[in-house]
Amino acid sequence: MEPLFANKRGLVTGVFNKQSIAWAIAERILDEGGTCGFSYMPDKPDDERKKNLGRVTKLTEGNPRCAFLQPMDVTNDEHVAALMTVAEEKLGKLDFLLHSIAFALPDDLKGDTIDTSRAGFKLAMEISAYSLISLAKHAREILNENASILTLTYYGGERPVPGYNVMGICKAALDSIVKYLAYDLGPRGVRVNALSPGPLQTISGRGAGVDEMLGLYEAMAPLGRNITHEEAGRCGAFLLSDMSSGITGEILHLDGGYNVMGSPGRLLERIKAGTS
């Protein structure tokens, strides 16, 4: 059987380290014969060690299907345009684009939503939501027909999740952007979807209190367990592949069924039994 991503080329954004969900997806694509170009968060000028570049290089070096590494500040249109120029030079037309970019100031993320600063709100929304529009717009001319765009979201954009706060608002906007971009790009056959994983041990997850969420999901989800990075990689790769050719504008929940629950479920039984 031919590998799922044989002769497929695409762009992956948002890989920070080995625990990144974007890397789990990219790793699956690479294993299935795909070729990927990677963007990474630019290092600060005074960072002589180039730590951001070093983390991604450590993951990709030696793999012939890792086509390039390109720094990109997603708030800078020139950076985004330069990324697409490099992508076209190295890869030609793109079959897939993975958007895995989000950020909020720690003080805004940790505080109550009502205390979110104006500047912090604008920054979080620009990086975490508008960036998908920006990437899609700049990539539009180099996307193959029937290409797939995927972003990463979270259930906190659909229901309040204490501690997720302003990022939940950003994810709500991102979810809506997915649907509008799906409409805009649909005539060209380009699909736009979102993967909504349950809590995983990632840099951003730890900032949002993932340790507490892991126990809650395990207790409440119908499957009675948390998801894995490998499952996120497989689901993300599926949505970026031709296997999902009829799916667009969707949010795929990968959370053991947690999102379907209307009550604490078996957790309530544990509470009644005094075992929680």
Residue given tokens 């929304």 in the structure block: 125
Residue 55 phi, psi dihedral angles, 5° rounding: -65, -45
Is residue 183 among the annotated active site residues?
no
Q: Which of 154, 155, 217, 258 is catalytic?
A: 154
Q: Which of 40, 164, 217, 258 is catalytic?
A: 164
166-185 and 118-125 helices cross at what angle (nearest 10)? 40
Give the Cα separation of 4 and 68 in Å (integer): 21
Burial class (CB in 10 A: 0-12, 13-18, 19+), 166: buried
Return the closest-CA partner of residue 209 out of 265, 158, 161: 161
Q: What is the DSSP string of 2-14?
A: --TTTT-EEEE--
Terminal-to-terminal C-alpha distance of the chain: 47
Is residue 258 among the annotated active site residues?
no
* Dihedral of the alpha carbons of 222, 223, 225, 227, in degrees to the nearest 10: -110
The residues that are catalytic are: 154, 164
